Structure 1
Amino acid sequence: MTVPVETFFLHPEAEGTLQSQIQQMIAQGILSGRFQPGEKLPSTRKLAQHLGISRITVTLSYTELLSNDYLTSRGRSGYFVSETAPVPPIFAASPVTPDAVDWTRAIGQKFSGGQTPTKPQDWAHYRFPFIYGQADATLFDHANWRLCAMQALGQRDFGPMTTDYFDQDDPKLIEFIVRHSLPRRGITARPEQVLITLGAQNALWLTTQVLLTQRRHAAMEEPCYHALHDILNQSRCHLSHVRVDQDGLPPDAIPPDTDVIFTTPSHQCPTTATMPMDRRRALLDRAAEMDALIVEDDYEFEMSFLKPPSPALKSLDTDGRVIYVGSFSKSLFPGLRLGYLVGSEPFIREARALRASVLRHPPGHIQRTVAYFLSLGHYDALVRKMSTTLHTRRDTMQQAITDTGLTIAGQGASGGSSFWMRAPLSVDTSQLAQLLKPQSVLIEPGVSFFSGEDKPRNYYRLAYSSIPSSRIADGVQKVAETLARLV
């Protein structure tokens, strides 16, 4: 690797000759660790031209560094950092100098300290990772994804890859969503009613910013997706938490002054409850009665392998009051961060303008790669493969849970990728999670899904999307044994 010539510059206030300044510049780069042994330095001609000095001055500097073993010369290949160059000295850590700025006063609004938990980055090194929403490398279609990415990088797609769409999206991806993805949920939409987002979370944030103010009221499910807690709290709107039951969000429990209702009817997050058709219609009637809007997060509808998914709320909506949130992050991989919003044109217009002011649009290369992966049929094949595998894993986990006597608090009627579990009331599942980690078991404590001061601490989630069937029974057994010690 060659050290970029742009990293070299002469400080206007530096003392000493030009030759000594260059020597000091390179020596400091080596001693600080910025220049590594074996890295190639710019040629004397190139560095001289970059610094605007004579080539002989650079040559003399390199020669002196060569004699001091900072550099080595390799024939006609040039100058390199010597493998035996002086080692960077080890100094005691410098004391941290506090800022002169009073950040408690300077920060106008805080966004840290929310409820969204952090998942271990090394989760794949655990033998029993019962955590939700991570990609399983054994299921993903690496070969065809690579081919689609290469196709998107080709000369024919140079425009879509490099164009600044400003507030627009890749028309090929929009076309597929409108013609293929949405009809599977019973939804009919025009391209002007679809906006690509950086995942479902970004879609929820855009929706919240457009629809809610400090004077408006929102209703959300309890328990609920923890990131939505943070998003709605940051909006400073009036917030009501509506306790879900075995069928999801009960419409009659929604406060009458609600302006926007957030719900996950296909697989309630995190209980995985599926909202029946009669309740879906009752929810639409309740929203019409209050003149409220509904934000439908349909984050996992592809994982309906037990039976076909129920029609989306958006498909039953004749008033235009449902805003639909879809995502490819769960069915492809979470790092993709690609989702979409579907809604009436006045709403999408404002969401599009807000998105443009923050990030313009999701990267064109990512959009075009996904468009190819979808349109060439690879996505459908992947979903079928995942559904078959998850069905097997679900059956294995359900049997293991039955055998060990653990308690299921919620399971989706049509599928999904996790079980919502309940421990005895005396158990804090955060403590349970800590005791399981040394045994190479990861679970998700449920406390972050609840709101308020007196949160129940005995719930937890067991996901099976990232663990092979062969390990599920042993992992569940470890959960049961550790839980028994806490009771």
Structure 2
Amino acid sequence: MAIPVERFYLAEGVSGTLQQRIRAMVADGILTGRFRAGEKMPSSRGLAQHLGVSRITVTLAYTELVAADYLTARGRSGYFVSEGVPVQPGFQPAPRAVGTVDWEALCGGRFSAMERVERPEDWRAYPYPFIYGQADPALFDHQNWRLCALQSLGRREFETLTADRYERDDPLLIEYLLRNILPRRGIEARPSEVLVTMGAQNALWLAAQVLLRAGRHAVVENPGYPGFRAMCAQAGARVTPVEVDEGGLVVDALPEAVDVVFTTASHQSPTNATMPVARRTALLRAAEERNFLVVEDDYEFEMSYLTPVSPSIKSLDSGGRVVHAGSFSKSIFPGLRLGWLVGPEPFIREARALRAQVLRHPPGQLQRTAAHFLSLGHYDALVNRMKAAFAKRRRAMEEAISQQGLSVAGQGGFGGSSFWMAATRHVDTEALALRLRREGVLIEPGRVFFHPGTERRNFYRLAYSSIPVGKIAEGIGLVAKVMREM
């Protein structure tokens, strides 16, 4: 039986070349049971005319489908759906259950209720996206990343791509971390003291789960990264917020009894303050005297382009009390989800075992692609290009902010990619953000960064990692205009 040509159509909004879309269309029809084994396909000429494409495009798609055993070619008789294709089960899906379980009460919102920085999924459609942490396609090295990905897919890399490494990481990536990335932060480590993670978020969660439990006491910065509060609470620990100033976490304000201190010392989130070396040594001295540990989140470690980078707290640690977390989210792209933990061997052993229970190890191909990108020098070239672009955007931000009379609450002296801003006290920046969206402007309200009960609603963050330099002045002008109206 021949399949009528009218049953074939190219859906709108599907990515890929015409050849790929035709192949996907036929494969989907076979896998969903619309086209059955033994049925004859339309001729390549007939399908090409029906779809409005060239005959060679259809012929190449048919050839690929034959190679994949979706179709068989029978000489002059044409193409037929292969006899070996999967057969759909004969039963119909059950009707959608009405549900007798109160899932809201059962789950309790323990995780979904945790506050986080929100941004619209279609943020790229906004002309003035002053949002933090997203990659700029104009700066990214697509060509060399693609070549490294192809290299990791080669036959020589087959075992790296396909093998279950159990608890082990890619040795090439570990070697580069030990030899190049960590020494830039003044850190020396052995392979047994490093763990590859699914980004810094996963690294910090692992650290919180290993180091905290019910009855333990954690300190977080205020304002600070909201994820710290959520991770500590999920581990069952008591959480105390400690204020930050122009030098970051105030060590003298630490409570007497504490088990773990979480800090973003090199580039405080969200104020961008850099903790002076003297305060870092004071924090380590307090850790020794009071017997607590320090978890250092070095999330923007490569973005120091105004002043030389400060030594990490881990590099100053002679007592083995610091766990260091970092990632490639800001320096390569956030969707990569590759980071690391550095700490004493017993800690890494526990974190590795916990990671194995949750996700085994980060995907081998991603680790090897990143390792090639790093070792071939593409990473350093990308970082240098980003630093130059960010420095230019920062100057444009400073000029526009000054011209519009807006108030900077924290900008840091190292570089980075954002400004921490303060509106007048009567301005609620969550309401401001909603008004600005109608003008095509995205900002990040600051309330979520404050510990519950200490919220300040007039702060907000303006980032420049994803906005072209030519859009900055106009976007800042709109922020000032709407703020004046409010």
Using structure 1 for the length normalisation, give the TM-score.
0.82
User: Match of 1:137?
Assistant: 137
User: Match of 2:448?
Assistant: 448
User: Match of 1:275?
Assistant: 275
User: Match of 1:459?
Assistant: 459
Confirm or deny: 8 A CA contact 2:129 2:443 kept in the other structure: yes
Do structure 1's residue 405 and structure 2's residue 402 form an aligned pair? Answer: no
CA deviations on 1:300-331 (whole Å, 9 max, x unpaired) are 02100001110000000000100000100111
User: Match of 1:69?
Assistant: none
Confirm or deny: 8 A CA contact 1:170 1:364 kept in the other structure: yes
Do structure 1's residue 362 and structure 2's residue 362 form an aligned pair? Answer: yes
In structure 1, distance between residues paired with 2:199 and 2:475: 31
In structure 2, distance between residues paired with 1:408 and 1:157: 50
The AA in structure 1 aligned to 2:165 is Y
Give matches, 1:123-162, under 5 Å: 123-162=123-162
The AA in structure 2 aligned to 1:123 is W
The secondary structure found in structure 1 opposite 2:471 is helix
The AA in structure 2 aligned to 1:256 is E
Confirm or deny: 8 A CA contact 1:325 1:340 kept in the other structure: yes
User: Match of 1:384?
Assistant: 384
Confirm or deny: 8 A CA contact 2:117 2:444 kept in the other structure: no
User: Match of 1:245?
Assistant: 245
Moved more, 451-460 or 145-154: 451-460
User: Match of 2:79?
Assistant: 77
The AA in structure 1 aligned to 2:285 is D
CA shift in 2, pair 1:458/1:108, >3 Å: closer
User: Match of 1:189?
Assistant: 189
The AA in structure 2 aligned to 1:320 is G
1:233 deviation in Å? 1.7
1:454 deviation in Å? 4.5
Which ranges in structure 1 are unaligned for 5 or more consecutive residues?
Answer: 1-18, 28-35, 49-54, 60-73, 81-94
The secondary structure found in structure 2 opposite 1:267 is coil
Confirm or deny: 8 A CA contact 1:160 1:364 kept in the other structure: yes
1:434 deviation in Å? 0.5
In structure 1, distance between residues paired with 2:238 and 2:274: 27
The secondary structure found in structure 2 opposite 1:455 is coil
The secondary structure found in structure 2 opposite 1:240 is strand
CA deviations on 1:134-153 (whole Å, 9 max, x unpaired) are 00000000010000000000
The AA in structure 2 aligned to 1:304 is S
The AA in structure 2 aligned to 1:76 is G
Do structure 1's residue 396 and structure 2's residue 396 form an aligned pair? Answer: yes
User: Match of 2:435?
Assistant: 435
User: Match of 2:90?
Assistant: none
CA deviations on 1:110-142 (whole Å, 9 max, x unpaired) are 211111133211111111100000000000000
The AA in structure 2 aligned to 1:177 is L
In structure 2, distance between residues paired with 1:428 and 1:104: 31
Between the aligned residues of both structures, percent identity stands at: 54
The AA in structure 2 aligned to 1:225 is Y
Which ranges in structure 2 are unaligned for 5 or more consecutive residues?
Answer: 8-21, 41-75, 83-94
The AA in structure 1 aligned to 2:342 is V
Structure of larger gyration radius = 1
Give matches, 1:29-48, under 5 Å: 39=26, 42=30
In structure 2, distance between residues paired with 1:443 and 1:38: 41
The secondary structure found in structure 2 opposite 1:314 is helix
Confirm or deny: 8 A CA contact 1:263 1:294 kept in the other structure: yes
The AA in structure 2 aligned to 1:185 is R
Confirm or deny: 8 A CA contact 1:252 1:286 kept in the other structure: no
In structure 1, distance between residues paired with 2:461 and 2:422: 9
Superposed CA RMSD: 2.5
